[in-house]
Amino acid sequence: MGTLTGMRAPAENAAILLEWYRAMGIDETIAGETRDWYAEIPRAEPSPIGIGADANVNRKPPIRERADLPHRVELAPDRAGVPSNDVMAARELARSARTLNELRALLESFEGCALRATASRLCLSRGSPDAPLMLIGEAPGKDEDRQGQPFVGRAGQLLDRMLAAIGLTEADVYITNIVFWRPPGNRTPSPEEVQACQPFLERQIELIAPKIVVFLGNAAAKQLTGATEGIMKLRGKWLELPGHPGTRAMATLHPAYLLRTPAAKRLAWRDMLAVRAALDAIEGGARP
């Protein structure tokens, strides 16, 4: 007996598959032509000792490398902390940038992050480089990819309203992410992608020298502080920002999470009030 899917017309199956892709966040194609990936699965080679021989029962077909896919290397546990060549190159480039404009120009030609190949454009920052408050999220989405600026979609509009509620505008803040290109389908950035971008993020913090950094969500907080707690335990507390003495940091809930969970807005509001009070206490801090 066939499955329910097998009894449907091909067009109906295709529509169901496309709807599943949309629900999973897959909203664009990368290759220009279709490809039958199943046809490329290699067949098992005949056993030299005969079919059915005990030595060949558990033998698996050979795995063949494909030239058009990146080669992935699994690091041994004792080498997991060793930076890759891409990360080393990123550090050298980031250190050479004397201004934010130079940093942007270097990123425009940087090929050490795989996200660059699938994104429409670089999405580095928006706001004022002279701002005392820096906000750091995780990654650009579809709207950000189109406009080349972080937090300009629905989550960004909520963020702007949150800032306005404590008397701040885009001119009072500097907003960026831990990666600067949109991951395909809005998936979570891989550790390799985050590490390739981090030297440029660290250099942004050095060049801007903000008084306060706010992490929008768990990903940014964990990446820059090394914290292991979840966001609900981490949020609302003043944290140390390693490598940047004198800069205070706080984690809060990501605006995208607040759109899905409106009841949590009261927690984010407490965090924003604490940030406002800290800014007011800083001589020369932004004031409404």
Q: Which of residues 193 and 51 earns the better pLDDT score? A: 193
Q: Cα separation of 241 and 217, whole Å?
A: 15
- Please choose, from the candidates 212, 216, 213, 215, the residue with its C-alpha nearest in 3D space to the C-alpha of residue 255: 216
The arithmetic mean of pLDDT across residues 2-15, rounded, is 58
Chain mean pLDDT for the chain: 81
Residue partners of 256: CB distance under 8 A and separation at least 6: 154, 155, 217
Q: Indicate if the pLDDT at residue 18 is higher than 60.
A: yes
Domain 84-281 has CATH 3.40.470.10: yes
Which residue is associated with the tokens 């942007």?
Answer: 104
pLDDT band at 284 (very low <50, low <70, confident <90, very high): low
Q: Lowest-pLDDT range, 25-39, 53-67, 109-123, 233-247?
A: 53-67
Residues 6+ apart with CB under 8 A from 21: 27
CA distances from 94 to 77, 99, 102, 194 (A): 28, 10, 9, 14
Which has the closest alpha carbon to 199: 82, 123, 88?
Answer: 88
Tens-place pLDDT, residues 54-112 = 444 344 444 333 333 332 323 333 334 556 787 888 999 999 999 999 999 999 999 99
Percent of the chain predicted with pLDDT > 70: 69
